[in-house]
Structure 1
């Protein structure tokens, strides 16, 4: 391999993806992922079909950035979601993270082109995502791509498991 590349994650990548997710959480000043993330990701990426459809399409998709020496230095996850207002599906990018030492080397545009290709392969015409308002580097990157932002607050509500 002579250049960095973005490719689909394989099962053997998931321990490293979980490490990168922990780095991502720390970067965003969030709680770390619960133990066992690699196993949960494996089920979403490789072990489950879309409920009731009989399709082998995974619920989650994961892309990884691999540098020439074989190290994984970033990841992006995405999944098709629905827009009621548009009456259509779009690709929701849940995470995009690069190790700080690997930023500014051209991997971000590689990720975004791979995400566009993922959307096209699913027949989707839009990608949506969010980033923290304080993440000025990411905002500049997304603005340079021609992406547009919308002001919203993201809420989270825990749901207790059934008894």
Structure 2
């Protein structure tokens, strides 16, 4: 079963984010707290949304954490999928596809024109899965990121 996340899911969502970070060999870079996720998902001005996949016994076994983006070219919103994760013991049972299908429906129901996400280049099983859905890599784009000291240095140039 796929459903919108509820406040009582925050600890499970946070734990899965850490599992994903471990899987991506970046556990040390993950510092999110349950309190931060609570505020992002359910605070006074939610900026992030989530769906969860539940097992038959009601356990959260997968997550899709996302936010709305905006295309100036299309003039409408889309969804950017920040994290898609299914517990290793539950993979192959259709949870990942069901989570993506739910987000695709969210797009269609709201008139959004895009569902986008990133995947690390070495994650061949996920890439094959995404391609099986007829998703296409955006090879002509390279993602850039500023963090830490370089972010602070650039910000300090504003008077």
Which bin holds the TM-score, normalised by the shorter protein?
Answer: 0.7 to 0.9
1:117-141: CA deviation from partner (whole Å, max 9, x where unpaired): 2223432122011101111111111
In 2, the alpha carbon distance for the partners of 1:100 and 1:47 equals 30
* 1:78–1:92 Cα contact (<8 Å) kept: yes
Other-structure match for 1:34: 31
Could you state the TM-score of these two structures normalised by the residue count of structure 1? 0.83
Other-structure match for 1:142: 130
User: For 1:80-159, what aligned pairs fall within 5 Å after superposition?
Assistant: 80-151=68-139, 152-158=141-147, 159=151
Q: Secondary structure at the match of 1:139?
A: helix
In 1, the alpha carbon distance for the partners of 2:106 and 2:122 equals 28
Q: Secondary structure at the match of 1:45?
A: helix
Q: 1:47 to 1:121 in 2, by over 3 A?
A: farther
In 2, the alpha carbon distance for the partners of 1:73 and 1:153 equals 31
How many residue pairs get aligned? The number is 149
In 1, the alpha carbon distance for the partners of 2:83 and 2:126 equals 12
Could you state the TM-score of these two structures normalised by the residue count of structure 2? 0.85
CA RMSD in angstroms comes to 1.8
In the TM superposition, residue 86 of structure 1 has moved relative to its aligned partner by 3.7
In 2, the alpha carbon distance for the partners of 1:75 and 1:149 equals 22
List alignment gaps of at least 5 residues for structure 1: 50-57
In 2, the alpha carbon distance for the partners of 1:72 and 1:22 equals 14
1:31-83: CA deviation from partner (whole Å, max 9, x where unpaired): 35225x2111111111133xxxxxxxx32110111101111111111111122
Q: Secondary structure at the match of 1:154?
A: coil
Of 73-82 and 86-95, more deviation after overlay is shown by 86-95
* 2:4–2:51 Cα contact (<8 Å) kept: yes
* 1:26–1:32 Cα contact (<8 Å) kept: no
Other-structure match for 2:15: 19
